[in-house]
Amino acid sequence: MTDPAQSKPAAGSPAGTVDEFAHIPRRRARHPLITLAGAALAFFLVFYGLRDLRYALSSGQPLELGAAAAVFSNDKATADLANRYVRVAGVPDRESALELDTKGSWVFSQLFRVLGTGDRLFVHRMENPLPAARAEADVFEGRLIRIDELPYAQAIRGYFARHVSATHYFATDTTLAALTGRAAAGPLSIVDRGGDKVALAADEALAIEVLKPDEVQIGLPNGRFPTEDAARAAVTGRGGEVITARGLVKTAAPSSAGASSLLASAPEPPSRWTFVVRFPAARRQAALDELGDIDRTVEIRDARETIATRVSELAASDGALIIRAPGGAERRVAAANIAAVHTIAPVVIPDGAYLLIEGDRPRDHVASVIISLVLMTFGVFNVVALVRNR
């Protein structure tokens, strides 16, 4: 019961009315700056996640882009594709692909570039293991974002430039045209067979594969010819002139050897006595047919010479490639005799490149919508409370 001696009527209250809570102190009001800071933080978090929110509210049907080589050839064609759910077709560069793993877990993913896009499209393939149908289709579906917008963009660029290289093959006519239009002994800008533009420094190493039309390389199995003299006799006995003897050559084993696969049980590649041979024109085809009938493992291929050179030592004149030796001597190679021109260059990610996160769909970001609604409600509540207290 209330003690009348310790309670007093509140001011303005009717006579005889006693305030039972008059002795309880009132809670101090929250400082307006705290309320304002809470609202500002909520709105900032909503703004910070606006890109994910926009993607979560986008269409669940992928935008069909077609061939990646045609779409990602310039900036104008891709100006409005960022943060979209897309489907694109292209040939992955499996040679320079990376396998990524998360520290502390056994979750692996792949990161590779798409050929023919000028290094302007990369794919982050999250699913592991990958279904065979997806691996064979070379069609990628997921979220497309700019690499420049990633917080780790500089780390990706630096790693690729320092540690990732790709082999580029160049068509003979393209090589001659690029050499004709460049400054003497300067850098070279050229498009490879995959459609990627490659910038080669003056000291970049190149390999020129030169055909020898009058010669042929023949490999005779060690199982049928125990000695080199016996193999040589089989060639010379059919009218062949041995130009070069390369000894016993064994083909490299498949990369899957030793693995638990069907190829792991394949027989060892045979060792062959290998010669570079020249035959008389009238006897050439008949001699090759006879040698090929000796054993199914006989190897007959075009004879080639690999010339290692540098970009600064190359020039072009009258449809021929001119190779300058360090001593000043020049070698002229006809375009018809050039089988291949290739080099290994680092992968440089240009500005404006894109990353497609495969399997990332708008519905996977529903949580972003819920979190944004909660934050907006919290921010509005604090603003209303601030206005009422003022």
Question: Which range, 8-17, 45-54, 231-240, has the best average confidence (pLDDT)?
Answer: 231-240
The answer to which of 5-9, 55-59, 157-161, 337-341 has the lowest mean pLDDT is: 5-9
Pairing of strands 121-125, 354-358: parallel
Region 236-252: what's the mean pLDDT? 88
**Confidence category of residue 28, pLDDT binned at 50, 70, 90:** low
Please give the pLDDT value at position 263: 46
The answer to which of 18-22, 158-162, 256-260, 307-311 has the lowest mean pLDDT is: 256-260
Considering only the top CATH level, what class is 63-165+350-362? mainly beta
On the question of pLDDT at 257 being above 60, the answer is no
**Confidence category of residue 241, pLDDT binned at 50, 70, 90:** very high
Which residues, in sequence order, are bridge partners of residue 242?
Answer: 277
Please give the pLDDT value at position 16: 58
Instruction: Parse the chain into domains and list their residue ranges.
Output: 30-57+363-390, 63-165+350-362, 169-251+270-346
On the question of pLDDT at 227 being above 90, the answer is yes
Please give the pLDDT value at position 261: 46
On the question of pLDDT at 351 being above 70, the answer is yes
CATH number of 169-251+270-346: 3.30.70.240
Please give the pLDDT value at position 361: 92
On the question of pLDDT at 104 being above 70, the answer is no
Q: Please tell me the distance from the alpha carbon of residue 144 to that of residue 123, in angstroms, as a whole number.
A: 9
Decide: 91 and 121 in contact? Cβ < 8 Å.
Answer: no
The answer to which of 131-145, 252-266, 373-387 has the lowest mean pLDDT is: 252-266
Average pLDDT, rounded, for the chain: 84
Region 148-154: what's the mean pLDDT? 88
**Confidence category of residue 252, pLDDT binned at 50, 70, 90:** low
Do the first three CATH levels of 63-165+350-362 and 169-251+270-346 match, i.e. the same topology?
no
The answer to which of 128-132, 227-231, 311-315 has the lowest mean pLDDT is: 128-132
Residue 277 identity: V
Pick the more confident residue, 190 or 5: 190
